[in-house]
Every structure is written in C-alpha cells, then in structure tokens.
Amino acid sequence: MKMKRSDTTVAINAIRNKKLDDAVIKVIIETKQQTKKSELVHHLIDNYLNDAVEDLIVEKSQK
C-alpha cells in the first residue's frame, strides 16, 4: 500500500523567491539539466538545515 503524501506550502516573500529563481537558473545553466525550485529547497533542507538551526539559535540568543 502506497503512503499518502502530506505536502505543505510555505510563504516566501518576493525577494527570497527571486533569490531562489536566480539560484535555480544558475544550476540549470551550469549543469544543462532541468531543475525545479522545489529540488533546490529540498537540497537546502536535507543538507543545511542543522547548520541553519544552529545559526538561528545563536542569533536569537544574542538579542
């Protein structure tokens, strides 16, 4: 039996969305392979989430 996906959405403002778009375009140009914005976001979460959590903890602790 196949598990049902439980996707969600996250609001991203226009400036961050443009940064994501630009990054995806760079990946496409350099690799000559189609890449989706969601693929980049998944990569960021899978590979850099722990670092981001630690950075945010430090930032919030200093306030």
Burial of 7 (0-12, 13-18, 19+ CB in 10 A): exposed
Dump strand ranges (E) for 10-62: none
Say how many Å lie between the first and final Cα of the chain, rounded.
49
In the chain, where the domains are located: 14-61
Instruction: Give the gyration radius of the chain's Cα atoms.
Output: 15
What pLDDT is recorded for position 23?
A: 98
Structure tokens at 18: 């443009």
pLDDT tens-digit profile of 18-39? 999 999 999 999 999 999 999 9
- pLDDT > 90? residue 5: no
